[in-house]
A and B are shown apart, each in its own frame.
Chain A
Amino acid sequence: MEIVCPAGTPAALRAAVKAGAHTVYCGFADETNARNFPGLNFSREEMQEGVRFAHAHGAKVLVAINTYPRAGSETLWRQAVADAETAGADAVILADPGLLDYAAQSHPDLRRHLSVQAAAANADIINFYARAFGVKRVVLPRVLSVPEIAAINAETEVETEVFVFGGLCVMAEGRCSLSSYATGQSPNMNGVCSPASHVEYRETGEGLDARLGGYTIHRVGRDEPAPYPTLCKGCFTAGGKTGHLFEDPVSLNAEQLIPQLAKAGVTALKIEGRQRSRSYVAQVVRNFRTAVDAQAAGRPIPQGMLASLSEGQATTTGAYKKTWR
């Protein structure tokens, strides 16, 4: 199975390739990609150098252009597709049907992957994207169980890529605007969920307050893990009770499910975290490369050591095992 690794900077790309990534995904330094954070992402020149480095080491580069074009500014997104092809990218990861159509018409030789932001969660819609826009691979939303993924693979020729590690969203992928209510910016339009410019931490007598857009989203005691203030993972008090309303701040870790995912017909395993450091990238990639090689050789998957890298310092297998059912 192919490991698809995040890179928020050229240094992280090199770290991922050296750590054993088969493929690296990254984005341009603007709102065309869903990790539009300060200090992150690639200039056009950096993208070309990154692709050269990856190809020289036998790895591929995918360029994520996976936000939804703003009306009147579609040129920015179209130019990103053209620049990805010029840089020598192996594929682009797109979500918007209009942009997919543009890429299919104007850059037919550039391989197209469907972003998780498109929330394609059944074989009919995936096959539609394949017929209409020549999509070769779909990144499945993190709402499917392993049997559901197997059912999709049984009915489509499109390759499937699934997340195996990193941050989780509670909403159907790509359809969340919670962040907009507190900050005016959303993942789909601006490439940022809970932008850092609206985040503030305050040490108080009661603990650490994590605030977003002036609202306290979470308060933790001295010895508890620090939270990032996303509304969906906030801890609220209502009706005399305090708790996580939507979701606990935990991260996905499906490394022990790699054999089942392989059996379900999955082509590629994706690691979340373009906003993370090259240290994170190297550790996670090395871990998953070891696991995938063990799977291919018929050896047991080694026990993971990645919890400390996770949000909330705790992990879950998420929807892959729907234990709440």
Chain B
Amino acid sequence: MNENLVSIPRVPSVLARPLGLAPLAPLSLSLNAFARAVARNHPGLFRRLGDHAHSTFVLDPTDLPFAILLEPRGGAPKVSVGRGAVRGDARIAGPLAAFLGLVHGAFDGDALFFSRDLVIEGDTAAALALRNAIDDAELDFADEAARLSGPFAAPLRRLIALTERRMGICLSRPPEEAAW
């Protein structure tokens, strides 16, 4: 039986290719600020990392021309973006939509791993701790971005919703209404 496989959208190459030429410093700075804001709002995420709160993680979106180095640093995270060989204790590779779906609880990490949509290399225990800590944090990137956007929060939310609809990616937490 192999039915019901999750379909993971890919970033179209027409969008991804220009990023191969774009300067990465502004993206690093933005992601770094975003990670710091997430850390302030979700300190439990770093407690749950336990022994791996100082491990380093390479998040490699395979449909984008760069990789992200995440250093949790015990709750004072640093994020940087690089091209070529980015090194860390654990490397997790897969489509950007898979990462975003995991963060927002739309996809199951093990299922993506079994199906080879996600690939793990290096320190498996660290990767597992990160997966579990993020899953428990119930992050919502749309909420976090809106908090940082001040008066632009409302138009930003509309833009995020439009992007989700057009690209089929998950940028916010799906509603979790009680079923019973």
A interface residue numbers (CB < 8 A to B): 8-12, 14-15, 17-20, 37-40, 57, 195-197, 199-203, 208, 222-226, 275-280, 282-283, 286, 289, 305-315
Complex CA–CA separation, A278 to B6 (angstroms): 16
Contact of A20 (CB < 8 Å), options: B1, B5, B102, B179: B179
Tell me which residues across on chain A come within 8 A of B176, comparing CB atoms: 14-15, 18, 282
* Contact yes or no, B116 A225, CB < 8 A: yes
A202-B121, A307-B3 known; 17 other A-B pairs, CB under 8 Å? A14-B176, A19-B180, A37-B128, A37-B132, A38-B125, A196-B124, A197-B125, A226-B114, A276-B110, A277-B102, A277-B107, A277-B135, A279-B106, A308-B3, A308-B4, A308-B114, A313-B5
* Contact yes or no, A226 B113, CB < 8 A: yes
B interface residue numbers (CB < 8 A to A): 1-6, 48-52, 102, 105-111, 113-116, 119-121, 123-133, 135-138, 176-180
Instruction: Tell me whether A277 and B121 are in contact in the complex, defined as CB-CB below 8 angstroms, given that A11-B138, A225-B115, A308-B4 are known contacts.
Output: no
Complex CA–CA separation, A19 to B180 (angstroms): 7
* Contact yes or no, B105 A278, CB < 8 A: yes
Instruction: Tell me whether A309 and B111 are in contact in the complex, defined as CB-CB below 8 angstroms, given that A15-B105, A39-B128, A196-B124 are known contacts.
Output: yes
* Contact yes or no, A39 B115, CB < 8 A: no
Closest A-chain residue to B109, C-beta based? A277
Q: How far is the CB of A274 from chain B (nearest CB, A)?
A: 10
Closest A-chain residue to B45, C-beta based? A39
Complex CA–CA separation, A292 to B75 (angstroms): 43
Tell me which residues across on chain A come within 8 A of B126, comparing CB atoms: 38
Contact of B125 (CB < 8 Å), options: A195, A225, A289, A312: A195
* Contact yes or no, A305 B4, CB < 8 A: yes
Tell me which residues across on chain B come within 8 A of A20, comparing CB atoms: 179-180
Complex CA–CA separation, A232 to B111 (angstroms): 20
Contact of A39 (CB < 8 Å), options: B50, B120, B138, B177: B50
Tell me which residues across on chain B come within 8 A of A38, comparing CB atoms: 50-52, 125-126, 128-129, 132
Complex CA–CA separation, A19 to B105 (angstroms): 14
Complex CA–CA separation, A223 to B5 (angstroms): 13
Q: How far is the CB of B114 from chain A (nearest CB, A)?
A: 5
* Contact yes or no, B132 A8, CB < 8 A: yes
Instruction: Tell me whether A289 and B179 are in contact in the complex, defined as CB-CB below 8 angstroms, given that A225-B114, A276-B110 are known contacts.
Output: yes
* Contact yes or no, A280 B110, CB < 8 A: yes
* Contact yes or no, A289 B180, CB < 8 A: yes
